[in-house]
Amino acid sequence: MKMDANRPIGVFDSGVGGLTVAHALKQVMPEERMIYFGDTAHLPYGEKSPEAILHYADKITRFLMDQDCKTVVIACNSASSVAYGPLRDWYGTEVDIVNVIDPVVEYYLEHLAPAKVGVIGTKATIRSGAYEKKIKEKSPEAGVISRATPLLVPMIEEGFIFDNISNAIIRAYLSDEPLRSVEALILGCTHYPIIKNQISKFYDFSVEILDSAAIVARTVKDLLGEKDLLRRSGDGQKDVFYVSDYTPYFEKISGMFFEEKINLKKLDLWKDE
């Protein structure tokens, strides 16, 4: 039985970071409808245990499947590093699940390897070693420098961007000697594209910054195209954005990415637990 191409795309993250992926998806596939879930009640995922992250990701994935999503995008590096394998094993026969790590690794291997590459991300992502392991499997000679940058997510979620505070924090992390000499830098968190220009400026715009949002969006479009699941035209239905805990900043940051005010709803998936 052929799947209906008009079904929505499901996207989830711990907070506003996944909006960078949602925005990129709309840029390459403007006709598609999205259902987004930001688990703001539990952010940042990068500080949580693998068991907790998997629990949250499982609940959200099942919710998005209940909304009849044709694919689910894990728009979070922490969740991708911990939960992608189990979610694919549990639900992969019912829905395609896309993570944000593999497409970026593939891009690096195809276009940049074995250039010295830095990876910055949450504690959970860096602790998992996901980027380094996947890169070294295919390009053993590649130089990979991984560093946890845990203050960046709460900094962004609290609205400290494009100011002296954020510049100081970014400078403190990237001034680490091994990171100063990289030829490319992977933004191993979907929040980080929000401060991509500030990061580029630190490197005097001389280092290629790998933005997972744009790379993942192209991957999702190719996947849907291969399965003849691209929506041909819009039907007037609006995207829906859910958060597990309302934060005014979520609406504010959404204004950076979407021209219209988003349809935002609060939904606590864990209230009966």
pLDDT in tens, 127-167: 999 999 999 999 999 999 999 999 998 898 888 888 999 99
Structure pTM?
0.92
How large a percentage of the chain has pLDDT more than 90?
A: 79
Q: How many CB atoms lie within 10 A of CB 129?
A: 14
CA dist 154 to 9, 16, 47, 195, Å?
A: 27, 11, 11, 13
Q: Which residue has better confidence, 249 or 59? A: 59
| pLDDT at residue 204 tops 60 | yes
- Distant-in-sequence, close-in-space partners of 153: CB < 8 Å, separation ≥ 6: 14, 15, 17, 43, 44, 46, 122, 189, 191
* Lookup: tokens for 11: 């996207």
**CATH 3.40.50.1860 residue ranges in the chain?**
9-99+214-266, 102-212
pLDDT for position 199: 97
Mean pLDDT, range 112-129, rounded to an integer: 95
Query: Mind listing the pLDDT tens digit for each residue in 22-47?
Result: 999 999 999 999 999 999 999 889 88
* Lookup: tokens for 33: 């409808």
pLDDT for position 3: 72
* Lookup: tokens for 180: 């100063």
Mean pLDDT, range 223-245, rounded to an integer: 89
pLDDT for position 2: 54
Residues carrying an active site annotation: 76, 189
Mean pLDDT, range 255-267, rounded to an integer: 85
At residue 117, the 3 state secondary structure works out as strand
User: Out of 3.40.462.10, 3.40.50.300, 3.40.50.11540, 3.40.50.1860, which CATH number does the structure's domain 9-99+214-266 have?
Assistant: 3.40.50.1860
Domain 102-212 belongs in CATH node 3.40.50.1860:
yes
In whole angstroms, what is the distance from residue 190 CA to residue 23 CA? 11
Looking at the chain, how many residues does it have? 273
Mean pLDDT, range 108-132, rounded to an integer: 95
CB distance 16 to 193 below 8 Å: no
| pLDDT at residue 66 tops 50 | yes
Query: Mind listing the pLDDT tens digit for each residue in 235-258?
Result: 778 899 999 998 777 887 888 788
In whole angstroms, what is the distance from residue 74 CA to residue 34 CA? 13
At residue 187, the 3 state secondary structure works out as strand
CA dihedral for 26, 29, 35, 41, sign (positive or negative): negative
In whole angstroms, what is the distance from residue 214 CA to residue 218 CA? 6
| pLDDT at residue 1 tops 50 | no
pLDDT for position 273: 72
In whole angstroms, what is the distance from residue 81 CA to residue 5 CA? 28
- Distant-in-sequence, close-in-space partners of 52: CB < 8 Å, separation ≥ 6: 42
In whole angstroms, what is the distance from residue 56 CA to residue 13 CA? 10
Mean pLDDT, range 209-237, rounded to an integer: 91
| pLDDT at residue 97 tops 80 | yes
Q: What is the DSSP letter of 226?
A: H
Mean pLDDT for all residues in the chain? 93
In whole angstroms, what is the distance from residue 53 CA to residue 46 CA? 9
Residue 120 pairs in a beta bridge with: 147, 187
pLDDT for position 74: 98
In whole angstroms, what is the distance from residue 87 CA to residue 213 CA? 21
pLDDT for position 51: 97
Biggest distance spanned by C-alpha atoms of the chain: 56
Helix (H) or strand (E) holding 169: helix 164-174
